[in-house]
């Protein structure tokens, strides 16, 4: 039984004779955690009872507090309009530390998911374009959600839905035919293809013939034209070499690496199904599905020339994933600017009577900008992610050399710190908020950063090495300082933190928790002589060892390494 459940039981026993309509669920929901620990570990506001009991809230709180069985608590007392509950610190601490020592990094695991499949659509860069900072959010948010949902007992399936099909590739082939050079592209593929892509988009705005030529080349791709497919495959192959190198640096893997092109021979069946259900009608030569009942514009399924669109391919993808994975939920980690389009796509599936469309969940996120300016491949405003990661690693190495120049394997540690800093900074930001890219802030060892959390973990490991510590059975863990109790309460909350991060699809909840835990440890470290040879030494070492275990697991859920030394 959790502390909240225990308190709810005691409250309902005291309240039900006076207010039988107030349910235990309602009481449980009203329980608060005071910011000031001097006001208890949990607090129950009695305002709700004032009208029914015709008494002032402070009087109600005082009378109820006197009736509540305080067994298992240090004390239960009234304070104004609240009943405050103070946990038995030693008993609580002992239980929490034993739980962590028993389960290790599996502390906080759940079987909620019962191994049900959850495909996660994430990353999805476009081939023939640089892997830029703009792709970072979908990649790291999706990877973190995969880890969080696995900890909750689901079988997550990370899918890289590469943008490798569509009119833009017809335009790129057009650009190559007009201005490209095979030797130049082979020598420096992504940069040269980017130049062609920017140029052809600028030309297409001014010259309708270029735009039409791009449409024609894409139609040839769809019709299986050998030359069109040969050039497209070449662009795809050179792009994947770069992408895989960056994913390796990020430590991100996928169960499936499927581009839009994978579904090119599966789209007819989906279009035919919509046709057979009389959902398609013609609009200016294009075929659309009316979505008035969803207050959405029509969903365009095919263009007037018969070419497919994102919608056609995404509908086909959804069908394939349901057939292949029979998912409990399908998560799409895609920028907030695509919200309306995804609402249309899912509405088409619902209108076609596919109930599982309700299990498809869009996880939007805000944009990354630089100096307030949006990244745009089409306009050539791109910051390459690989270059950024390399610079972050160099900055991390510089700081490591300043702080600990004799550190062994410092290049490997700098890699973990630099890459981790970029990922952590992204993930600590509330998902729906964007942020302005600032490498100086990201790689700082001070403040609310990844390196700050990593350094707290490494500091604990250093203490444990000096103490030659190994886990021992804890019979009782005395809590003699407020700082230690603050750590215990954070450790105790970790399973609930993971559950809330999953429920909200919000890795920032875990990132902020790890910052709070690192800060609490550093405060404890500053105020307590951990290595004092007294009767509480083993208890202190068990406390910080458990802190390290949870810090490492929190970082792992964010896809960030925890170096043993820094």
Fold of the domain spanning 386-557: Isoleucyl-tRNA Synthetase; Domain 1 (1.10.730)
For residue 44, give the 3-state DSSP assignment. Answer: strand
Q: Residue 25 belongs to what H/E stretch?
A: helix 24-30
Q: Please tell me the distance from the alpha carbon of residue 445 to that of residue 86, in angstroms, as a whole number.
A: 36
Q: Average of pLDDT values for 442-471?
A: 95
Q: Please tell me the distance from the alpha carbon of residue 183 to that of residue 370, in angstroms, as a whole number.
A: 33
Show me where the domains of the chain are located. 3-87, 386-557
Reported as a pLDDT band with limits 50, 70 and 90, residue 372 is low
User: When comparing pLDDT for 405 and 118, which is higher?
Assistant: 118
What is the model's pLDDT at position 129?
84
Q: Is the pLDDT of residue 485 over 90?
A: yes
Q: Residue 43 belongs to what H/E stretch?
A: strand 42-45
Q: Please tell me the distance from the alpha carbon of residue 364 to that of residue 354, in angstroms, as a whole number.
A: 23
Q: Is the pLDDT of residue 373 over 80?
A: no
Going by the DSSP 8-state scheme, the letter that residue 300 receives in this structure is E
Q: Average of pLDDT values for 198-226?
A: 93
Reported as a pLDDT band with limits 50, 70 and 90, residue 127 is confident
Q: Is the pLDDT of residue 375 over 70?
A: no
Reported as a pLDDT band with limits 50, 70 and 90, residue 305 is confident
Q: Average of pLDDT values for 313-319?
A: 97
What is the model's pLDDT at position 22?
85
What is the model's pLDDT at position 376?
56
Half-sphere exposure of 464 (CA within 13 A, CB side): 22
What is the model's pLDDT at position 114?
97
Mean pLDDT, the chain, whole residue set:
93
Same-fold call for 3-87 versus 386-557: no
Reported as a pLDDT band with limits 50, 70 and 90, residue 528 is very high
Q: What is the 3-state secondary structure (H, E, C) of 82-136?
A: EEEEEECHHHHHHHHHHHHHHHHHHCCCCCCCCCCEEEEEECCCECCCCCEHHHH
Q: Average of pLDDT values for 352-378?
A: 85
What is the model's pLDDT at position 379?
52
Q: Average of pLDDT values for 309-319?
A: 95
The length of the chain is 566
Q: Is the pLDDT of residue 234 over 80?
A: yes
Phi, psi angles (nearest 5°) of residue 223 = -90, 0
Q: Is the pLDDT of residue 371 over 80?
A: no
Q: Render pLDDT for 505-517 as a digit per residue (tens, 0 to 9).
A: 999 999 999 999 9
What is the model's pLDDT at position 377?
53
Nearest Cα residue to 471 out of 545, 535, 533: 545
Q: Is the pLDDT of residue 96 over 60?
A: yes
Residues 370 and 134: beta-carbon distance below 8 Å: no
User: When comparing pLDDT for 4 and 332, which is higher?
Assistant: 332
Q: Average of pLDDT values for 455-483?
A: 91
Q: Is the pLDDT of residue 183 over 70?
A: yes
What is the model's pLDDT at position 102?
94
Torsion of CA 445, 510, 456, 104, to 10 degrees: -150
The number of beta carbons lying within 10 Å of the beta carbon of residue 279 is: 19
Q: Average of pLDDT values for 262-280?
A: 95
Fold of the domain spanning 3-87: Gyrase A; domain 2 (3.30.1360)
Q: Please, what is the end-to-end C-alpha distance for the chain in angstroms?
A: 40
Q: Is the pLDDT of residue 1 over 80?
A: no
Cut 0.85: pTM above it = yes
Reported as a pLDDT band with limits 50, 70 and 90, residue 286 is very high
Q: Is the pLDDT of residue 350 over 90?
A: yes
Residues 239 and 189: beta-carbon distance below 8 Å: yes
Is the alpha carbon torsion for 490, 495, 500, 505 positive or negative?
Answer: positive
Half-sphere exposure of 159 (CA within 13 A, CB side): 25
For residue 32, give the 3-state DSSP assignment. Answer: strand
What is the model's pLDDT at position 32?
93
Q: Render pLDDT for 128-157 as a digit per residue (tens, 0 to 9).
A: 888 888 789 999 999 999 999 999 999 999
User: When comparing pLDDT for 477 and 357, which is higher?
Assistant: 357
Reported as a pLDDT band with limits 50, 70 and 90, residue 68 is very high
Reported as a pLDDT band with limits 50, 70 and 90, residue 414 is very high
* Alpha-carbon distance values, 439 to 335, 371, 395, 454, 556 (Å): 22, 12, 9, 17, 22
Q: Render pLDDT for 417-429 as a digit per residue (tens, 0 to 9).
A: 999 999 999 999 9
Q: Please tell me the distance from the alpha carbon of residue 494 to that of residue 500, in angstroms, as a whole number.
A: 10
């Amino acid at each position: 039984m959790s502390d909240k459940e225990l308190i709810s039981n005691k409250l309902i026993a005291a309240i039900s004779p006076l207010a039988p309509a107030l349910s235990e669920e309602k009481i449980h929901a009203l329980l608060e955690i005071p910011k000031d620990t001097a006001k208890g570990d949990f607090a129950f506001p009695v305002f709700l009872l004032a009208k029914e009991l015709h008494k002032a809230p402070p009087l109600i709180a005082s009378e109820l507090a006197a009736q509540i069985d305080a067994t298992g608590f240090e004390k239960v007392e009234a304070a104004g309009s609240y009943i405050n509950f103070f946990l038995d610190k030693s008993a609580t601490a002992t239980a929490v530390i034993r739980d962590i020592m028993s389960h290790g990094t599996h502390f906080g695991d759940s079987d909620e998911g019962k191994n049900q499949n959850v495909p996660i659509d994430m990353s999805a860069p476009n081939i023939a374009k640089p892997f830029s900072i703009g792709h970072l959010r979908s990649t790291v948010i999706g990877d973190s959600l995969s880890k969080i949902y696995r900890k909750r007992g689901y079988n997550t399936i990370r899918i890289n839905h590469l943008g490798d099909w569509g009119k833009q590739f017809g335009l790129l082939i057009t650009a190559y035919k007009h201005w490209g050079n095979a030797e130049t592209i082979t020598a420096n593929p992504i940069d040269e293809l980017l130049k062609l892509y920017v140029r052809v988009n600028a030309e297409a705005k001014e010259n309708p013939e270029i735009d039409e030529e791009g449409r024609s080349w894409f139609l040839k791709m769809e019709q299986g034209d050998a030359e069109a497919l040969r050039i497209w495959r070449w662009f795809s192959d050179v792009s994947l070499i770069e992408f895989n190198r960056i994913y390796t640096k990020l430590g991100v893997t996928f169960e499936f690496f499927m581009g839009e092109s994978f579904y090119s021979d599966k789209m007819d069946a989906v279009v035919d199904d919509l046709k057979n259900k009389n959902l398609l009608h013609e609009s200016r030569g294009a075929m659309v599905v009316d979505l008035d009942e969803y207050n959405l514009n029509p969903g365009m399924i095919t263009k007037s020339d018969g070419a497919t669109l994102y919608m056609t391919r995404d509908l086909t993808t959804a069908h394939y994933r349901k057939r292949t994975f029979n998912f409990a939920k399908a998560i799409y980690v895609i920028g907030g600017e695509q919200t309306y389009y995804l609402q249309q796509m899912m509405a088409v599936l619902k209108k076609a009577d596919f109930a599982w469309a309700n299990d498809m969940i869009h996880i939007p996120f805000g944009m990354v900008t630089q100096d307030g300016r949006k990244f745009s491949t089409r306009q050539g405003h791109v910051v390459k992610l690989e270059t950024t990661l390399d610079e972050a690693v160099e900055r991390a190495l510089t700081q490591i050399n300043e702080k600990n120049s004799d550190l062994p394997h410092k290049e490997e540690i700098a890699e973990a710190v630099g890459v981790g800093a970029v990922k952590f900074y992204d993930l600590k930001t509330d998902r729906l908020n964007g942020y302005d890219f600032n490498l100086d802030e990201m790689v700082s060892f001070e403040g609310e950063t990844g390196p700050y959390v990593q350094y707290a973990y490494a500091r604990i490991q250093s203490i444990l090495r000096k103490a030659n510590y190994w886990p021992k059975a804890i019979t009782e863990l005395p809590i003699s300082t407020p700082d230690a109790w603050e750590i215990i309460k954070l450790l105790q909350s970790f399973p609930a933190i993971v559950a809330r991060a999953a429920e909200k699809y919000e890795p920032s909840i875990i990132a902020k928790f790890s910052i709070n835990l690192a800060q609490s440890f550093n405060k404890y470290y500053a105020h307590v002589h951990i290595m004092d040879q007294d009767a509480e030494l083993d208890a202190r070492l068990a406390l910080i060892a458990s802190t390290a275990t949870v810090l490492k697991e929190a970082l792992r859920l964010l896809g960030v390494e925890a170096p043993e030394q820094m």
